Amino acid sequence: MILETTVFSIIQTIAVYAIPVLFAITVHEAAHGWMAGRLGDNTATMLGRVTLNPLKHIDPVGTILMPLMLYVATSGAFVFGYAKPVPVRFGHLRNPRWGTLWVALAGPLANLAQALLWGVLLVLLKGLGVMEPFFLRMCQAGMGVNVVMCVFNLFPVPPLDGGRVLVSLLPARPAIALSRLEPWGFFIVAALLVTHVIDWLWMQPLMTLVGWVLNIVLYPLLVLVR
């Protein structure tokens, strides 16, 4: 009985989160490639990565297997995954330094925009009297997933987007020193995740801030539909 309940709970969670997660990953990666194309590097466009087809961005291990295994192993307390990174030749950008900054920011900003859109949909559904729990939970999941992706990817360690942003903003010497961490960045981030350092030092404060901003932006719409 307990096993059946657990399996049913996992299936419910997957059903609610599947569409928001696929959109969050797909639009995030496509935004990197789209911005790179606007700023001088068409590598992602030529390889077919500037697309809303999720199959082009999904990594079988990082996007599906790892998150599912972690979800089951930790009863949903800890989930981590990744998509195929969009190939960008930063040296081909018209202005490599500032181009890198905008290419890196494009992904998190795309997630922020999606969080807002899911929030608008949530407010409209409630305003129209739609109280179907599945759709409301999906909208809430869409907001949550995109806020998490936005904030997490802005953590200032390469190869995360925030690391590339910081490298672009720093003077030459510290920028070079930080960029040398990139081969070890995955292990550094994984260690900080496991020890919850990223959680209390970065994720919780910034997610609270982003949630507060989204609530302010959505409040006029909420008033209108009441």
**Active centre residues (catalytic):** 29
Q: Distance (Å, rounded) from C-alpha 117 to C-alpha 137? A: 14
Tokens of 185: 């960045």
Residue 92 DSSP label: G
Q: Distance (Å, rounded) from C-alpha 87 to C-alpha 103? A: 11
Tokens of 82: 């990744």
Please give the C-alpha separations between residue 134 and each of 6, 52, 137, 148, in angstroms, as whole numbers: 18, 24, 5, 21
Q: Distance (Å, rounded) from C-alpha 17 to C-alpha 31? A: 21
Helices (H), 128-183: 133-153, 161-169, 172-179
Q: Distance (Å, rounded) from C-alpha 64 to C-alpha 36? A: 27
To 10 degrees, what angle do helices 133-153 and 96-127 make?
160
